Amino acid sequence: MKKRLLYANFVIAIIVQFLFYYLFTTFVPLEIRKYYLIFFILLVFLTFLYDSLKSFVFLVSGMLITAFYIVISSWIRIEYGINQFEIVFQQMLIIILSISIWLESLYLKNIVDNSEKLKEKVKQLEKLHPEAGVLTFNEFLERAEIIFTGLRRRSEEAQLLVIKVSYIDDNNRISKTFINTIGRVLIDSVRKNYDIICYIENTIFLVLLQNTNKQGAMLVVDRIRRNLRTIRYLNPEIIEKHIDIKIESFNNDFLAFKEYIQNLANNTNS
């Protein structure tokens, strides 16, 4: 029911808008019509570019300027016997049309902003990356904090595998199939329900190995490369050229770990 009312209000608003446009083109003189059109276009742009307060100030300023212009022009041409009612009607028409354009632009901007916020919330709530099949960055960070709490309590260390991929397909982008394959190989190469994996958009996988040293991490790297070689379409040249694996050691300092991977994420998305 609410959706139908929303659609009905939107249709009514469009009809009213067209009605005012018709009256505008009919009653507003041609020589000043272009200036009003420029004002309307600027009003729309400012509404989308800035907050509602600034666009509202521009709206009020524009209406005051046009009213002042009409008063001055009427006073100058008073001896010509101009129709005062027509001038008042024109001014009221401009005011109503300006307010309706501002409200409609503000409404559309709110829809776009809310849509972006919802997308961001959904992205934050997602636990698995849809292409890679591993954890999203936010979920990885939350679980890593819990893991580091246990590492600190048990005086254990952690190793982070930073896996950069750069296999480019015919469309000049990293293949989704390639990303999914890497994700499955990593899942099969680490300890299930113990080590965690995430994918940072576009280039990097992160693998957090808990309670292990650098030698243990190197064994995992060898296992990953060995499992990659079992994939039929991945020849050794692709593995060596497009998959780079680096080991970073962290004792049990979560803050240092968090800062490091956030810098990675920021550099990847920039």
Digit-coded pLDDT (tens) for 112-145: 888 888 877 776 666 777 777 888 888 899 899 9
Q: So what's the pLDDT on residue 13?
A: 64
Residue 146 lies in a domain: yes
- Give me the pLDDT at residue 172, please: 43
| Same domain membership, residue 212 and residue 148 | yes
Q: Tell me if 132 is assigned to some domain.
A: no
CATH of the domain at 226: 3.30.70.270
User: In 8-24, which positions are buried (b, 16+ CB within 10 angstroms) versus exposed (e)?
Assistant: eeeeeeeeeeeebeeeb
For the beta sheet containing 158-165, the strands, ordered from the edge strand earlier in sequence to the opposite edge, are: 196-200, 204-210, 158-165, 243-250
Q: What pLDDT score does 83 carry?
A: 62
Please check whether residues 121 and 187 belong to one and the same domain: no
Tens digits of residue pLDDT in 212-252: 889 999 999 999 988 888 877 767 666 767 788 999 988 77
Q: Are residues 70 and 156 in the same domain?
A: no
The domain boundary, picked from 125, 149, 173, lies at 125
Which residue segment(s) compose the domain that 253 sits in? Answer: 137-269
- Please check whether residue 131 lies inside any domain of the structure: no
What pLDDT was estimated at residue 16?
67
Same domain, 56 and 99: yes
Under-50 pLDDT residues of the chain: 170, 172
Are 224 and 150 in a shared domain?
A: yes
Count the domains in the chain. 2
Domain boundary among 125, 150, 174: 125
Tell me, yes or no, whether 252 and 146 share the same domain.
Answer: yes
Domain-terminating residue out of 125, 158, 188: 125
What pLDDT, on the 0 to 100 scale, is given for residue 217? 92
Instruction: For residues 183 and 72, state if they share a domain.
Output: no
Residue 7: the pLDDT is 64
Contact assessment for residue 159 and residue 247, using Cβ atoms and an 8 Å cutoff: yes
Do 83 and 18 lie in one domain? The reply is yes
